Chains A and B, each alone.
Chain A
Amino acid sequence: DGGITQSPKYLFRKEGQNVTLSCEQNLNHDAMYWYRQDPGQGLRLIYYSQIVNDFQKGDIAEGYSVSREKKESFPLTVTSAQKNPTAFYLCASRDARVEKLFFGSGTQLSVL
């Protein structure tokens, strides 16, 4: 099956700890995105990457980092600098031919 896979589904972070959320796609899409979802606030863009080895900050990049070493993978690290990390994180990739984003099923991150 083609699609986007996010893991883990649930993740817990301790104080001062960095955690990494995985996002893998087999759709052969160039562009990938990370969004953060908080209740009542919709989705906000954290980082995006339009091509391998390149990525750009979104609207709320502080406290997060990403890498794009492979076309299929776009992992997100939530660093200890992110003081309010509890949220639902969604990864997406873009089919530019039909102007459509495909979303993964999300990772719920909570703080212990």
Chain B
Amino acid sequence: AQSVTQLGSHVSVSEGALVLLRCNYSSSVPPYLFWYVQYPNQGLQLLLKYTSAATLVKGINGFEAEFKKSETSFHLTKPSAHMSDAAEYFCAVSDSSNTGKLIFGQGTTLQVKP
């Protein structure tokens, strides 16, 4: 069975500092991997996705993630945090059924301090 683990339910960084949100996955087949962002009381918005092309994926708002098969990881990074990046971030993996179902991690809340 596929699963996703996000390390750290809360991450706090200073404005301008590096953002690193960790995600590890478990999958018996080559996965599709996703990062979504959620602002308070809103739905989720896709940041980026990995679908077996380039292992370094660039997304919106300056975020990027690197797929590392040997480490079963898909960590999200951004070189310089902005106050507007404060939100909850979810890592997700698609299941192997091609139904579009996603299995989500528990989420990481990013706090950005001035």
Contacts and interface: CB of A to CB of B under 8 A. Distances in A.
A binds B: yes
Interface of A: 4, 6, 31, 33, 35, 40-45, 48, 50, 56, 58, 90, 92, 94, 96, 99-101, 103-106, 108
A41 B4 CA distance: 12
Nearest to A94: B100
Query: Would you call the interface of chain B mostly helix, strand, loop, or mixed?
Result: loop
Contact of B43 (A31, A42, A45, A104): A104
Contacts of B9: 40
Given A31-B99, A58-B101, A42 B107 contact: yes
B106 to A, nearest CB: 5
A41 B106 contact: yes
Contacts of B32: 99
A109 B94 CA distance: 27
B100 A42 contact: no
B12 interface: no
Given A42-B107, A99-B94, A48 B42 contact: no
Interface string B88-110: 00100010000111101111000
A107 B75 CA distance: 30
B13 to A, nearest CB: 20
B26 interface: no
Nearest to B42: A105
B106 A48 contact: no
Contact of B44 (A48, A56, A90, A108): A90
Contacts of B101: 33, 45, 48, 58
A22 B110 CA distance: 30
